[in-house]
Amino acid sequence: MNHSPLSPSPSPHARGPARAVVREVGLRDGLQSIATVLPTARKLEWIDAAYAAGQREIEVGSFVPARLLPQLADTAEVLAHARTLPGLFASVLVPNFKGAERALECGADRMIVPLSASHAHSLANLRKTPDEVVAEVARIRAHRDACGSKTLIEGGVGTAFGCTLQGEVAEGEVLRLMQALLDAGADRVSLADTVGYADPASVQRLFEKARALVGDRLWCAHFHDTRGMGLANAYAAWQTGIERFDACLAGIGGCPHAPGASGNVATEDLAFMLERMGVSTGLDLPALLALRQRAAGWLAGETLHGTLWQAGLPKVQAAAAARAPAALAGQPL
């Protein structure tokens, strides 16, 4: 494989994919979790800069009532801009059938339907049981097909490793719900550690079982760094063959039930780890760090996370990056 100028040769013990996609979810999962309402113009700047840095999958918002999440009230406008960028796959979160209708009307490339494997969390967050969400996905699939749309449906299984409300979530229930989502018409599924309960051993165990059950239709891993294990968990998932990871610029977002804790895995830290291991992401790390600095100005007063921005790139790698040509625009896997 072609090695990034930022990375040494990979260890012969590494056994994950040679390429990976880092899907930016800061514009949705990150912004919805903080008080600042970022102006639309800044969101468009963020998308343009992320695109210039090589990101080709971005979750741009969520179709929810503005009164509930004013931070995401401009999702339609942000999505319209994202769709003008060649090769960019723009995703939106849709919590229900009405949100899915809006996503289809606006031409989203992918809509993500969240499902909590925790019964208690599902009722608190979505006011539906997990199986009622599965039934909603069946309605969404039927409507999508009737519209002749090519928008992909991704079922996102959250609280897959435990829940602050319920506690333990059985692996068997997570696997059952994954299969139920696919049977209901989801094109793909993903697994999320919503509250930061996962550890590398549990990640490897569950992802191996999930891949054995649904194969490549297990599309993405979503980790939070609540207890400092986000990158280790991403590494464990990568070792099972996962090629796509959600992350937030500056590690914003996170679970409201863990105030003060780190949020999602930081985009720039995850990209650095992958590139350092010899995994090609197509991302320009200095450009991502520059975007993070801009975002810090936009989000003044908010708590940001991550570590690469503090230490910077290793000197040898920074010099190599300066000599390297601009990152090639990668296509989604």
Joined tokens for residue 308: 């690469």
Helix (H) or strand (E) segment spanning residue 184: helix 171-184
Which has the closest alpha carbon to 110: 25, 210, 194, 206? 25
Give the CA angle between residues 25, 190, 267 to the nearest 5°: 30
**Annotated catalytic residue within 106, 220, 248, 255:** 255
Q: Which residue, chain included where needed, has tokens 């968990």?
A: 233
Query: What sign results for the dihedral spanned by CA atoms 68, 262, 327, 150?
Result: negative
79-84, long-range: CB < 8 A, 24+ apart = 79/106, 79/107, 79/108, 80/106, 81/44, 81/47, 82/47, 82/58, 83/107, 83/109
Which has the closest alpha carbon to 20: 235, 279, 328? 279
Contacts of 261 (CB under 8 A, 6+ apart): 196, 225, 226, 227, 254, 255
Which has the closest alpha carbon to 224: 261, 259, 190, 260? 261
Q: How many Cβ atoms from other residues are within 10 Å of residue 91's Cβ?
A: 29
CA distances from 197 to 103, 236, 259 (A): 31, 14, 15
Catalytic status, residue 220: no
Q: Is 52:87 a contact under the CB 8 Å cutoff?
A: no
Cα 190 from Cα 112, distance rounded (Å): 9
Catalytic residues: 255
